[in-house]
Amino acid sequence: MKRSDLFYVWVAITSYLTGLFVYVSYLLMYDGKITEGLGKIITWTAPAFFTVGIILYATAVFVLHLLRKYNFWSQTVTFILIGIIPVSIVPFTMGYFSINNFSFIFSPEGFHFLLAYSSIACTFSYGIWIARQKKNKKPFLYLSVLVILLFILVSNVG
């Protein structure tokens, strides 16, 4: 595995932790506690992100290149819009199998996940942009360390 491949893996992990940080922080501000537990939250969100999310993000980059519309902002907006798909999958990963689950996106809990996936999309877009444009990776690495520290801090509070 090349060093650049490891950076993409690091971008995915950091992005996912950013989403968890935003989700848990919002729950702590909104409810004052994490009612479900971090393990359940990871169980609901990780499969959707590390399968559907990453595949769709990669497809989006490919399509944007084909359309000659690839730039940082088009990529970021597309990634945010793609975040709606994993959010709509969350009820299925929780064991609820109904076509009515797509209304979950518009519920208060769905909004929490939408915030989380939007923050994932922004972080993922930034990391991918840096890697693809061969820019300095240090700012992203500093952001990664900050996200990890904040996530540890917030997860211990809840």
pLDDT tens for the 158 residues of the chain, in order: 676 778 988 999 999 999 989 988 888 887 766 666 677 777 777 777 777 778 888 899 999 999 999 899 999 999 999 888 777 776 666 666 666 666 777 777 778 888 888 999 999 999 999 988 888 999 999 999 999 999 888 877 75
Residue 39 has a pLDDT of: 75
What is the per-residue pLDDT for 17? 92
Domain count, the chain: 1
Closest CA to 64 of 81, 50, 47: 81
Q: What phi and psi values does residue 36 have, to the nearest 5 degrees?
A: -90, -25
Range of the domain at 15: 3-157
pTM of the predicted structure, to 2 decimals:
0.83
Structure confidence at residue 87 (pLDDT): 75
Q: Which SS3 state, helix, strand or coil, does residue 107 take?
A: coil
What distance lies between CA 18 and its chain's CA centroid? 7
Other CB atoms within 10 Å distance of the CB of residue 14: 24
Q: Assign 36 to helix, strand or coil.
A: coil
pLDDT at position 84 is 82
Residue partners of 45: CB distance under 8 A and separation at least 6: 16, 19, 20, 23, 86, 90, 93, 113, 116
